[in-house]
């Protein structure tokens, strides 16, 4: 199975251990993680900015050298490249 490198909604790195999202036929999504995508639909109807705000504390926790502001700026550059947010 070939995954996207990052969840194309929240930017979480995808690996063998990542719990993948599910399609409505029960298959695994190769594009989104389980937190973002279940049964063929996004779990939350949010804007990109709302998703970034939601992810900031997780990003800071995973990368303690970053401030919340830096994390937000990084994601502000990264998220527009993800499939879900691409215009």
Binding residues among 7-36 for Zn ion as defined by CB under 5 A: 7, 9-10, 33, 36
Bridge partners, residue 38, by sequence = 41
Taking the least distance from each CB to Zn ion, the nearer of 36 and 56 is: 36
Minimal distance, residue 18 CB to Zn ion, in Å: 9
| Interaction between residue 52 and Zn ion (CB under 5 A) | no
Using an 8 Å Cβ cutoff, are 66 and 60 in contact?
yes
- Which residues of the shown chain bind Zn ion in the complex (CB under 5 A)? 7, 9-10, 33, 36
């Amino acid at each position: 199975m070939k995954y996207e490198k990052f969840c194309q909604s929240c930017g979480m790195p995808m690996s063998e251990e990542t719990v993948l999202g599910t399609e409505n036929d029960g298959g695994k999504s190769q594009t989104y993680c389980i937190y973002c995508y279940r049964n063929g639909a996004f779990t939350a109807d949010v804007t990109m900015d709302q998703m970034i705000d939601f992810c900031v504390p997780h990003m800071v926790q995973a990368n303690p050298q970053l401030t919340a502001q830096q994390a937000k700026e990084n994601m502000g550059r990264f998220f527009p490249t993800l499939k879900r947010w691409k215009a």
